[in-house]
Amino acid sequence: MDFPTPASLHLKNHAVYENEQLYELITKELASEISEDEKKLHDFEISEDLELRQKKELLHHFWFNYFPKPLPNQIINKTEKKLGFSNAKSSIGFSTIYKIAATVLLVLSLSFIGYQYFKPKNNVVLNEYVTLPGEVKEFILSDGTKVWLNAKSVLIASEPFIDANREVLLIGEGYFEVAHNAEKPFIIKTSSLKTTVLGTHLNVSGYPGDIKTEVSLYEGKVELSDKNRPENKMVMKPGQKVSFSNDEKNFYTKSNDLEKPAEWREGVLRLYDEDLNSIAQKLERKFKTQIFIADEQVGKLRFTASFDIEPLDKILKLFREAHEFKIETTTNGIIIKSVKNNI
Amino acid sequence: MELTSDDLLWFAIGFLKNREISEEIVSDVYVSIWNNRSQLESIINLKSYLFICVRNGCLSHLRKVKNEKIISIDSVSEFNFVRVEGPENDYIEKETIEQIYAAIETLPCKCKLAFTLAKINGLKYREIAEVLGITEKTVNNHLVLAVKKITELLNVSKKPNAKNSPLKRASLFLY
């Protein structure tokens, strides 16, 4: 092994055992099971044999670049169906009774306030319904429409609704149970999308900065239209979820993909194949914090998960189980970066 | 190396050659994992555990369908290496890839299984040993056999356009 020998000679000079040993080194190298010393030996041995080295290069390229195609599959759907997640019914428990009581109280107090407010003056007022980060609140509008606002959202409505339409402006995410009134369509405007409904249950999500506006329809029928080009429109059917891309102005429809209506009202955070950039924004809103994504690479990691009571640090740790990344906690927030990024 | 549903799905397809049933088996595995989630903490290596679950699902399916006495992985006689795809316009010729496939096809079943788990799923020797119920030494032997077979059947020097490869050209300069 002191000086390179021509390939043919090399093979003759080596005992079968050593040849066998070289294949073992090559295999270990491919399977990333090789130690540093073995690697040195491998590199040396293989540099001695041109033909073997060429073959090894090919095999190496094959090993690390050839993989089966991704298979679009129904595994998650099937699993959820088998577990009954898609149509799970919650039994009435203590917390539900609590919620009903709270709702009744809220209705009573709101109608009292409403009476005080509107009856004597009968003036139209611009009402602003606001939630802070980490908050979810339920409101009842003057026409009886129930609205739940997700964290860091604003709903603006001029009430009572005296115009031909019941028009509201939404910044953020809301779940609407619209009181039926065929004569006065209910219109939800977000920055890019106009959603016209008569009386239904639907969820609208259009936070500023999001690349898309999402509408999920649970009951009834609604019409969606591009706010800037009203002729660009579509009619949604129940069970559908439509994403409107704020840049391309296109509608993407997904059917049979709806979870329980607006689970965020119960504090559930459900993520389906979402990238970390958009997840970080959701976590910021839910946990009143700031999350900085340090590099592009880490922002592109995708996750599917759902959480209900887990604290933020637990959630991030669980994500880290799936894809490696670094978490740094500072006084101003949390920094997430790739493992390879050494800055 | 991360593990996705695809890995488990392809593994099941290797046994069953049927995508529909394989999806069913992987989702059954997920369901049982969910139902036994309280015991998950006692599992040391979740990755090999998942492969073992899928393996068992496939075996019991084969047992039902083939009416054969497939008791353990040792009685399985057939496993298919999945089709793989490389980069577009790759410098490796299609023929060469076919040569590699042909070599893999000649391997014994267990050897093909070990090779698949190492190459496709990036499992460590220890994990492959757990999944196949053999020793690490045997895993090593299987893999060395596979690599040797492929290397021997590869035909590089006789190919006229072999020197198109930048890697090969570079290596020629060294001599």
Q: Token pair for residue A42?
A: 């491998």
Count CA atoms closer than 13 A to B70's CA, side-chain side: 19
* Confidence check: pLDDT of A110 > 70: no
The rounded distance, in Å, linking the Cα atoms of B56 and B124 is: 20
Minimal Cβ distance to B23: which of A23, A52, A78: A78
Which amino acid does the sequence have at B65? V
Question: How many CB atoms are closer than 10 A to CB A294?
Answer: 16
Q: A32 with A41: CB under 8 angstroms?
A: no
Distance separating alpha carbons of residues A23 and A29, to the nearest angstrom: 10
Handedness of CA A163, A165, A170, A176 (dihedral sign): positive
pLDDT at A101: 55
Closest-CA residue to A260 (of A148, A182, A338): A148
Residue pairs between chains A and B whose CB atoms are closer than 8 Å: 121
Q: Does B90 touch chain A (CB under 8 A)?
A: yes
Q: How far apart are the first and last CA of chain B?
A: 37
pLDDT at A210 over 70: yes
Whether the pLDDT of residue B159 is over 50: the answer is: no
Q: Picking from A190-194, A250-254, B36-40, B139-143, which range would have the lowest pLDDT averaged per residue?
A: B36-40
Distance, in Å, from the CA atom of A162 to the CA atom of A131, rounded to the nearest integer, reads: 26
Section B29-57 average pLDDT: 85
CB proximity list for A272: less than 8 A, separation 6 or greater: A304
- If residue A40 lies in a helix (H) or strand (E), which one and from where to where? helix A36-47
Residue B87 has pLDDT above 70, yes or no: yes
Report residue B160 as tokens: 């006229």
Question: Inter-chain contact B83–A68, Cβ cutoff 8 Å?
Answer: yes
Name chain A contacts of B162, Cβ cutoff 8 Å. Answer: 54
* Interface mutation vs chain A, best among B147, B165, B169, most A CBs within 10 Å: B147
Three-state DSSP at A222 gives: strand
What average pLDDT does the segment A263-277 reach?
86
**Residue B125: its chain A contacts at CB < 8 A?**
31, 33
Termini Cα distance of chain A: 43
Q: Is A216 helix (H, G, I), strand (E, B) or coil?
A: strand
The pLDDT value recorded for residue A218 is 87
Which DSSP symbol is given to B114?
H
Higher pLDDT, A311 or A99: A311
Q: What is the mean pLDDT of residues A137-154?
A: 91
Distant-in-sequence, close-in-space partners of A100: CB < 8 Å, separation ≥ 6? none
- Mean pLDDT for the stretch of residues A247-275: 82
pLDDT-derived band at A106 (thresholds 50, 70, 90) equals low
How far does the CA of residue A259 sit from the closest CA of chain B (Å)? 18
Q: What is the pLDDT of residues B59-76, one digit of tens each?
A: 889 888 876 676 677 777
Q: Is the pLDDT of residue B170 over 60?
A: no
Task: Give the pLDDT of residue A135.
Answer: 87
Give the ipTM of the model, two decimals please.
Answer: 0.84
Q: Mean pLDDT over residues A151-156, rounded?
A: 90
Chain B residue with CA closest to A53: the answer is B171
Give yes or no for residue A200 having a pLDDT over 70: yes
Supply the angle between the helices A50-65 and A16-30 in degrees, to the nearest 10.
30
DSSP conformation class of A319: H
Q: B51 near B91, Cβ under 8 Å?
A: no
Other Cβ atoms closer than 10 A to A230: 9
With CA atoms as reference, report the closest residue to A191 among A175, A167, A208.
A208
pLDDT of the residue at A323: 84
Tell me what the pLDDT averaged over chain A comes to.
Answer: 80
Mean pLDDT of A145-150: 92
* pLDDT surpassing 80 at residue A90: no
* C-alpha to C-alpha distance for B26 and A79, rounded to whole angstroms: 9
CB neighbour list of residue B40: distance below 8 Å, 6 or more residues apart = B33, B46
Average pLDDT over residues A95-115: 54
> Is pLDDT above 60 for A294?
yes
Q: Give yes or no for B102 touching A (CB within 8 A).
A: no
Q: Is the predicted pLDDT of residue A114 greater than 90, yes or no?
A: no
pLDDT at A5: 46
**Facing residue for A59 by CB, picked from B118, B151, B168:** B151
